[in-house]
Amino acid sequence: MTKLAAILDQIDSGSVLLPEFQRGYVWNRDQVRGLMRSLYLGYPVGGLLTWETQADGSLVRGAGAVAAALRVLILDGQQRITSLYGITRGRPPAFFQGDERAFSGLRFHVEDQAFEFYAPAKMRDDPRWVDVTSLFTQGLEPHVGALNAHPQTRPRIVAYLERLARLRQVLERDFHEEKITGEDKTVAVVVDIFNRVNSGGTKLSKGDLALAKKCADWPEARAAMRAHLDRWEKEGFSFSLDWLLRNTTAVATGRAEFGSLDAVPVASFQDALEAAAGYVDVFLDVVAGRLRLDHDRVLMGRYAVPVICRMLHLAGSDLADGDRVLYWYVHSALWGRFAGSTETVLNQDYETVRRSGVGGLIGALERWRGGNLRIDGRDFEGFGQGSRFYPLLYLLTRVHGARDFGSGLPLNGGRPGSPASLRIHHVFPKAVLYGAGFGRSQVNAVANFCFVTPGFVDGRRSPEEYLGEVEARHPGALASQWIPSDPGLWRVERYLDFLAARRELLAGAANAFLGQLRSGLGRTGFERPGLEQPGLERPAELRAVVAGDVDEHRDQVMALVAELAEMGCADPAVDCEVSDPATGEVLAIAEACWPEGLQPGQGDPVILELDPAHVDLARLKEIGYEVFTSVASLRGYVRRRNQAAAGPAIELR
């Protein structure tokens, strides 16, 4: 048994730390309140699992460059100990990675014996709300004086002081500590133990495990990778640590399995990481310059990128056949090449690249698709920004220089001083379609989307009213955005016919452009990292595409996302395509998706799907998703979960 005060002192001295392979702090305020409530009442809060090992700072987080020494690494109990350290010390521990607001500002009500976080309107003038951190850092004396000086609290001062003293006594709480020791306990063995112990908590991915092994020899590995991820984030592209590691693995080993990194020396891994990051830079430049996919929302098929990194690495010099690479990339994304058994397919494509280059990749993709890579109008039947064909619509709009309905000017971003953003416009406005009885998926069909500049605000008039005016002001603008020229199709009663006609026009434009890419006539060059690439800069001012004509559903979803963030939930992917891991089939285009659980690494993946008639709910549940079909049900679930974590009100004695 070890007292909490001793554990916290050991953290201060640097002898108790966190293993590098652990994820960061993910608790929310209700979990912190629940922990303090349980400690105050003397309830069980669980023991600690630690690993005693010789470590020189390479295996641990927050130790810095220090000599090898016997250290105790927390395996199970990070969230609890981190919370208690933050509350009692008024700062996070050295190994902290997360949001310290989860444990900052906790108050204790000396009358109700309740724990809540600071709310100025409620607590500012009420001396009964005691700052818990101040109680631990400054002691009882300042609070005795404050409570004794106030006429409202003076009569109850004895009871209040007893409760504050009782709260401070949590530092004397004994924690049962189970320790893993022995030279045979390697990182791999300990990570396996960690995952078994945390079967209901924060788990490690295969990528976490592989990176943990590398961190044992190169402690700065995570920081080096995060630096690249942060750089791309600032440029408008959000990638995960696992994704960058996947690209690095492709460069280092030519294999998809993270385990293949075990045999890679640390110096080679460092070189592979920097090379992979450079290849990703080249890819983003080319895709933005040639395809105009210049922000995160429209960057399709990101799991095709490791194949391109492998191709660039094997090329050994400039890869001039870039248009054909882009042809393969777009088609692999459109058909969900990597949506199923990712590692199996990646390995197949790595081997194909080695043997026969991009020509072999295209041939393999054609065989996988039954010989058909031609886009049909029906392929544009998807709905929402999560559809695989939404980025293709954006691509066509940009590369073909489709013209704005308001100004008549091209939307390809080629003019200096061009507008800072585009927005989605519904050709048939939502209000018109909902008024005519169409459902959400029909209203938000990809074939009903086009792009305009923010200055165009004709969002509620029917197409038969405003499209003719657009054509009169800017002849050819409608055709440039593939709007059927027959005015009869602009009537709301012909909406489904309009969609069918526009889908065919979009398919024709897509096939024509992709055919140009396959011919290789454009001669786009993928150049090696470090070489100049004139004309392929990613224009920062064009990355943000603002969704226009926001409807009630999206308003509700975004309000819910903001509310759940306040409750400690992670930011979700919005309008997220969810595919079957076995077949690659699209099961849903969810309004919001938390693939790692509402809190990272905790619980099952969660999706919010407001149109359940168009999804395979049974299959989603079978593969482990918790599915909510209304904003209210998800909000209620999170509130109940958080309330359970915080615990019921304390019964007064």
3-class secondary structure per residue, 189-207? HHHHHHHHHCCCCCCCCHH
The encoded tokens of residue 164 equal 């504050």
SS3 287: helix
Which pLDDT belongs to residue 349?
96
Q: Residue 615: pLDDT band by 50, 70, 90 thresholds? A: confident
Which pLDDT belongs to residue 547?
45
DSSP class of 378 = G
Task: Tell if the pTM clears 0.85, that is, is over it.
Answer: no
The encoded tokens of residue 342 equal 């990712």
- pLDDT of 213 > 60? The answer is yes
Which pLDDT belongs to residue 524?
64
Report the percent of the chain where pLDDT is more than 70.
Answer: 86
Residues paired with 602 in a beta bridge: 599
DSSP class of 445 = B
- pLDDT of 347 > 90? The answer is yes
**Residues 426/461, Cβ–Cβ less than 8 Å:** no
pLDDT digits 0-9 by tens, 290-326: 999 988 889 999 999 999 999 999 986 456 788 999 9
Which pLDDT belongs to residue 534?
35
By CB atoms closer than 10 A (0-12, 13-18, 19+), residue 257 is: middle
The residue-averaged pLDDT of 42-70 equals 70
In the numeric block, the tokens 């641990």 are attached to: 60
Q: 133: closest CA among 36, 44, 46?
A: 36
By CB atoms closer than 10 A (0-12, 13-18, 19+), residue 230 is: exposed
The residue-averaged pLDDT of 165-188 equals 85
**Residue 333 parent element (H or E):** helix 322-334
**Residues 327/517, Cβ–Cβ less than 8 Å:** yes
- Contacts with 480 (C-beta within 8 Å, 6 or more apart), sequence order: 400, 401, 402, 403
DSSP class of 448 = G
pLDDT digits 0-9 by tens, 101-160: 999 999 999 999 999 999 998 998 888 999 999 999 999 888 888 888 888 888 898 999
Out of 327-336, 410-419, 461-470, 601-610, pick the least confident. 410-419
SS3 628: strand
- Return the number of other C-beta atoms located less than 10 Å from residue 197's C-beta: 14
Q: 211: closest CA among 193, 225, 194, 229?
A: 225
The encoded tokens of residue 253 equal 């080993």
Q: How far apart are CA 102 and CA 95, in angstroms?
A: 16
- Contacts made by residues 227-236, CB under 8 angstroms, sequence distance 24+: 228/273, 228/277, 228/280, 232/280, 232/284, 235/284, 235/538, 235/540, 235/543, 236/294, 236/295, 236/296, 236/538, 236/540, 236/543, 236/544
- pLDDT of 459 > 50? The answer is yes
The residue-averaged pLDDT of 269-282 equals 95
Out of 184-188, 390-394, 444-448, 624-628, pick the least confident. 184-188
Query: b/e for 171-186, b at 16 or more Cβ within 10 A?
Result: bebebeeeebeeeeee
- Return the number of other C-beta atoms located less than 10 Å from residue 372's C-beta: 9
Q: 11: closest CA among 76, 78, 66?
A: 78
SS3 473: helix
What is the distance in angstroms between the CA of the first residue and the CA of the last residue of the chain?
30
Which pLDDT belongs to residue 144?
84
How far are the Cα atoms of 116, 297, 375, 498, 550 from residue 385, in angstroms, in the given order?
Answer: 39, 8, 19, 20, 12
pLDDT digits 0-9 by tens, 370-382: 988 999 999 998 8
Angle between helices 322-334 and 390-399 (to 10 degrees): 150
Q: How far apart are CA 273 and CA 418, in angstroms?
A: 36
SS3 626: strand
pLDDT digits 0-9 by tens, 83-107: 999 999 999 998 888 889 999 999 9
Q: How far apart are CA 179 and CA 298, in angstroms?
A: 48
Q: How far apart are CA 518 and CA 15, in angstroms?
A: 60
DSSP class of 572 = P
Which pLDDT belongs to residue 202?
59
Q: Between residues 213 and 174, which one has the greater pLDDT?
A: 174
Which pLDDT belongs to residue 164?
94
Residues paired with 76 in a beta bridge: 49
- Return the number of other C-beta atoms located less than 10 Å from residue 357's C-beta: 17
Looking from the CA of 638 toward its CB, the CA atoms found within 13 Å total 26
The residue-averaged pLDDT of 498-504 equals 97
Which pLDDT belongs to residue 549?
46
Which pLDDT belongs to residue 31?
93
The encoded tokens of residue 544 equal 């943000």
- pLDDT of 262 > 60? The answer is yes
The encoded tokens of residue 374 equal 């031609």
Which pLDDT belongs to residue 461?
86
How far are the Cα atoms of 24, 219, 603 from residue 78, in angstroms, in the given order?
Answer: 9, 20, 17
Q: Is 304 left (phi over 0), alpha (psi -120 to 50) or beta?
A: alpha
Compute the mean pLDDT over every residue in the chain, rounded to the nearest whole number.
Answer: 85
**Residues 118/110, Cβ–Cβ less than 8 Å:** no
pLDDT digits 0-9 by tens, 422-443: 888 999 998 899 999 998 889 9
- Contacts with 21 (C-beta within 8 Å, 6 or more apart), sequence order: 187, 191, 194, 204, 208, 209, 211, 212, 215
- pLDDT of 511 > 70? The answer is yes
Q: Between residues 50 and 488, which one has the greater pLDDT?
A: 488
